[in-house]
Amino acid sequence: MKRFLLIFALVVLVVAGGVAYFADSDPDGLDAVTQRGCAVVETGGGESLEGRCIAQHAGDHALSDGPLADYTVGGDDRFTGVAGIIGAVVTLAAAGGLFWGLRRRSGSEDA
């Protein structure tokens, strides 16, 4: 069982680190739908939406300046794979902790 978990963890890390570099910078489905009716225009201060769409009323997320914002590490696009690996490790740790904490223990009473 330990060998399986080790191999599983290694595969997850390789996939998370490698596939992250193929992530598309174009808007995903939700972003694309909310931007219908607008055009994204590059300005000196960043991107701006011209036209009428739902996305014009959107603001930045509260954690948009966080260390892993936009699937990067510190805003550097070269570290997308590292951000993917960090996300995979955190997810595996959280899931493992939940499974470990919720597992049935031998000798305990069932209520």
Asked, for residue 109, whether it belongs to a domain, the answer is: no
**What is the three-class DSSP state of 13?**
helix
In angstroms, how far apart are the furthest CA atoms of the chain? 66
Asked, for residue 89, whether it belongs to a domain, the answer is: yes
**Ramachandran quadrant class, 74 (left: phi over 0; alpha: psi -120 to 50; beta: rest):** left
Considering the entire predicted model, what is its pTM? Answer: 0.62
Asked, for residue 80, whether it belongs to a domain, the answer is: yes
Print the domain residue range for 93.
Answer: 1-102
Asked, for residue 55, whether it belongs to a domain, the answer is: yes
Q: What is the DSSP string of 29-77?
A: HHHHHHTTTEEEEEETTEEEEEES-GGGG----TTTTSTTGGGSBTTBG
Mean pLDDT (10-residue bins), the chain, 111 residues: 90 87 71 86 83 84 81 81 88 91 71 52
Tell me what pLDDT residue 94 has. Answer: 94
Asked, for residue 95, whether it belongs to a domain, the answer is: yes
Tell me what pLDDT residue 27 has. Answer: 62
Asked, for residue 110, whether it belongs to a domain, the answer is: no
Asked, for residue 111, whether it belongs to a domain, the answer is: no
User: Domains in the chain: how many in total?
Assistant: 1
